[in-house]
Structure 1
């Protein structure tokens, strides 16, 4: 019997039992399992084989990146382009396999980077960047690496006039929600400043000495979370 796939929010995933190794970032749940043995690459490769065996029947394939330092895994249910109960079950199974192989989760190694370019809505800019990067275009504003390896590319409307000296290009860095303040503190200690925290905890805008911007962002406050809050309010009526 096939278990029905049910959509879950980032909050529901994070609150679930057995997913302490995992963090929700852009488009899915992520984990990094560090390999620390003398034969770390072989240790990681064996773990990747374990993951392949786990999904052989379901074909609910995660994205897996093997390096000598360890293995990065991303889970998402592609049919709904979001997290589901199926991802919860697989996250628990992958964590168990990692523990058996002696790999240790390291949430500090998890992040997703996106480049954002400000442009007027009707400018024919996206085809240029699509050709330059060799990316695919899943919607009207985003470009992504077809193998999901490198930073995504996002075209947004021109910045509002009340945000002076803001560059036309900036970098978004999604980090685990329990790592965000450490990342911000590190940026400030390195000479940066908090330029805008009005959207926190969804994102904080920081700037360097030349006013180049970076948005440090978490899943807190994002649409899927707000949608669940709205549903809860509706159920309470």
Structure 2
């Protein structure tokens, strides 16, 4: 389908919808994890998801493990959430209940590495080659099969030539973020910057390595192009 065939929605609109309590908006989509009691039960659920998606031509990303099944929904034509994602999320949750799988939002997270370098430097070809990733837009590199963490290429005036730096972004469910921050602080970290909260908090370990803990709060879209640039 083309861009004009669907209606984009914000993360807030997704979460305000009925029947999507199992789902959480993280980076680039709505995610759910359904715990299974066996690999066979999880496989039956995957088959049910495939049956639901087949007539819609709106295929989710599905990851089958013995612990359960992770599902990500996004409308690819617009690289954003749409009303189609709400409809399919409801039906997938119903299938999970019918097959005896329970949703576990606490298992959800998306990890991304952010590589900062001066605007004059072009390190993108190196990272694309060494990772075997593709470049969907000017600021990101992604695994073509969407299995592994993405890389955010961040142009930063404050970084001197030859002094590039990296940090990690961790996108977590909005209702899990404070517990995650508290756990990190209790484990020896500190909150280095909360001026952008609740969209993200910057934490640091004892050696001052940075991690941004992020949520969908404050985001109007989940498209790659609109991922915030620091």
Deviation at 1:140, TM superposition (A): 1.2
Q: 1:1-150 alignment to 2 at 5 Å? A: 5-36=6-37, 40-150=38-148
Contact 1:118 1:159 (8 Å CA) reproduced:
no
Q: Deviations over 1:117-151 (max 9, x none)?
A: 11112312010000000000011111000000000
Deviation at 1:58, TM superposition (A): 1.3
Contact 2:80 2:221 (8 Å CA) reproduced:
no
Relative to the length of structure 2, the TM-score reads 0.90
CA distance in 1, matches of 2:118, 2:158: 11
RCO (CA 8 Å, sep 6+): is it higher in 1 or 2? Answer: 2
Q: What is the alpha-carbon root mean square deviation over aligned residues?
A: 1.5
- What 5-or-longer segments of structure 1 have no aligned partner? 162-166, 226-237
Aligned match of 2:208: 211
Alignment of 1:174 onto 2:175: no
From the CA coordinates, give the structure whose radius of gyration is larger: 1
Q: Deviations over 1:83-109 (max 9, x none)?
A: 001000000000000001110000000
Distance 1:34 1:159, change over 3 A: farther
CA distance in 2, matches of 1:124, 1:158: 12
CA distance in 1, matches of 2:18, 2:217: 19
CA distance in 2, matches of 1:219, 1:146: 24
CA distance in 2, matches of 1:56, 1:222: 30
- What 5-or-longer segments of structure 2 have no aligned partner? 223-230
Aligned pairs, how many?
215
SS at match of 1:206: strand
Relative to the length of structure 1, the TM-score reads 0.88
Contact 1:10 1:83 (8 Å CA) reproduced:
yes
Aligned match of 2:221: 224
- Misfit runs of 4+, over 6 Å: none
